[in-house]
Amino acid sequence: MSLQVYEYGQEFPLESGKKLPSLQIAYHSYGRLNEDKSNVIWVCHALTANSDVFDWWPGLFGEEEFFNDKDYFIVCANVLGSHYGTTNPLTTNPETGEPYYLDFPQVTIRDMVQAHQILANHLGIQEINTLIGGSLGGQQVLEWAASKLIKINNLIAIGTNAFFSPWGIAFNESQRLALTADPTFYERKLDAGQNGLKAARSMALLSYRTYNAYGVTQVESDHDKTDSYKASSYQAYQGDKLVKRFNALSYYYLTKAMDSHHLGRNRGAVEEVLHSIEGINTLVVGIPSDVLFPPQEQEFIAKNIPNAEYYELHSFFGHDGFLIETKTLTQVISNFLEKNNSKADQLNLIQENE
């Protein structure tokens, strides 16, 4: 399925009180809605991913995978502020006829969810069978569930948290310091801040992986060298990869949005907000080697959402494990959904016989 774009013909109010004069939402959809519209799988993507979930989450999503386009209607929308088609800093501001650049207003996870809801309404979706996301995507699924904007039957939150930690904010701020240290970052041009983006991505990668992973994949065979190390070239390579496909301004705004994540903002205690997510079958997945979203954050979520299940996904790769350990993750998710579908069938049978 190719990229689709929905043009929302109204102002879009942001949590900050500011408004976008117009909004476009880029998304991919796969498969078709069944007759009773009960087969929707909605995926919320992570920081620099896009809406083509069949491309970036193979092994779990695909034509021959567990989540496929024959059994399900799968939707993944590009987040507000991102580089891949949804309104972002490089989008033309209709009020000026030029890209927003740094005039783009700050957005939050809640703003992203509000945009998702607008798209869901446009697509005629009134019920999500399974809402799934990892990392920043997991922040979105929790916020959507807490907002109670739409009926959700199954919720799967992976490697995420109920509010972003000081540790995570510090990682993001360090990356933004790298972005803004590039003097071109402030120039009103499409390729602004590329050297800063390269450095920021190098920093971020350290939070996505682990000491042990580098100790194996980047180990040197030549013990006599004093420069040009594998680990050095790997960091530069990963930075260059992102520069070729993303932009510094979107990266800046998305890290700010991640920092903003807090389910308790203007709602009350986080525990109470999580406890209000009841009546939804919930699976929370943590990764013990994850240094960015350590497993105690997922344990906290599972402890406070009524009847939530917690699973630890062991991975050599740290935070990125949820994108790599798809064989194990598929089995865990399939067991979770099969069990809860069986419970639902039994409940329906009881109700029919009453």
Q: Which of 182, 262, 319, 320 is catalytic?
A: 319
- The pLDDT-based confidence of 169 (bands split at 50, 70, 90) is very high
Per the annotation, the verdict on 319 as an active-site residue is yes
What are 288's two structure tokens? 């013990």
pLDDT of residue 346: 46
- How high is the pLDDT of residue 349? 42
| Confidence check: pLDDT of 342 > 90 | no
| Alpha-carbon torsion angle 95, 190, 53, 107, nearest 10 | -50
Q: Percent of the chain scored above 90 by pLDDT? A: 95
The Cα–Cα gap between 86 and 213 comes to 34
DSSP state of 262: B
Mean pLDDT for 184-192 is 97
Distance CA 100, CA 348 (A): 52
Provide the whole-model pTM. 0.95
Contact 25, 5 (CB under 8 A): yes
Which listed residue (135, 207, 260, 289) is catalytic? 135
Q: What is the mean pLDDT of residues 227-252?
A: 97
8 A C-beta contact, residue 258 and residue 139: yes
Angle among Cα 261, 264, 267 to the nearest 5 degrees reads 130
Q: Check whether 152 has a pLDDT greater than 50.
A: yes
Contacts of 73 (CB under 8 A, 6+ apart): 29, 30, 31, 32, 33, 34, 39, 40, 41
| pLDDT interval class at 341 (50, 70, 90) | confident
Give mean pLDDT, residues 228-232. Answer: 96
Gap between the Cα atoms of 47 and 261, Å rounded: 13
Kindly name the residue from 69, 182, 259, 290 that is annotated as catalytic: 290
pLDDT, one tens digit per residue, over 88-132 is 999 999 999 999 999 999 999 999 999 999 999 999 999 999 999
Question: Cβ distance 113 to 143 under 8 Å?
Answer: yes
Question: Does residue 286 surpass a pLDDT of 80?
Answer: yes
Catalytic residue at 52?
no
Position 253 scores a pLDDT of: 98
Q: To the nearest whole number, what is the mean pLDDT of the chain?
A: 95
In this prediction, residue 344 has a pLDDT band, given cuts at 50, 70 and 90, of low
Per-residue pLDDT, averaged over 284-309, amounts to 98
pLDDT given for residue 2 in this prediction: 84
Q: What mean pLDDT do residues 125-149 have?
A: 98
* Average pLDDT rounded to a whole number, residues 29-49: 97
Catalytic (active site) residue 38: no
**Separation between Cα atoms, residue 209 and residue 204, nearest integer Å:** 9
The pLDDT score that the predictor gives to residue 347 is: 46
Please, are residues 289 and 217 in contact by the beta-carbon 8 Å criterion?
no
Q: Reply yes or no on whether the pLDDT at 1 is more than 80.
A: no
Q: What is the pLDDT of residue 354?
A: 52
pLDDT at 25: 98
